[in-house]
Structure 1
Amino acid sequence: MAVNKDKMLEMFERLPDTAQQSAFDYLQYLSTRHTRPDWDEIVKLDPDDMPLSNEEQHQLTSDNGFMSWEEAMNELDLPTDTKP
């Protein structure tokens, strides 16, 4: 399916400024998602030598453990798919 680029640009220009940024971000994502490695390729990569940030160090050494999405939503008393 061919897309009329002029019509697409027209549509983009009619968007409010706040929506233009979102549209741009999504188009940027669409243009790069095919070049990103998948999990099988990531597993084969050599580890990087970039040190962890303070926040990452804190998360790794925290005794809080992992909290699932449902647990976080319940703690905040927000609705989830699993909570009536």
Structure 2
Amino acid sequence: MAIQKEELYHLIERLQEQDRKTAFDFLQYLVVRSKGKQGGWNDIDKAEPDVEPITEEELRQMNSTEGFITGEEAKREFGLQVDLP
């Protein structure tokens, strides 16, 4: 199924700003995957799902805005930033 680039652009334009960031990150992942440079993604894809319930502390941390950084900031911090052409 061929998708026209314009259709992708139109969908992205309709997204809210915070969702555009998610779309951007996912598109970066797809580009890296298509180049065969999945790195640890293969291991993650093969891993069994985590069925351990979330603890009260983990839930508190997830709902806290303290110390929150974006995925982009985390990738830069850990040297995982992907530079696209």
Q: Which has the higher contact order (CA 8 A, sep 6+)?
A: 2
TM-score normalised per structure 1: 0.44
Q: Which structure has the larger Rg over C-alpha atoms? A: 1
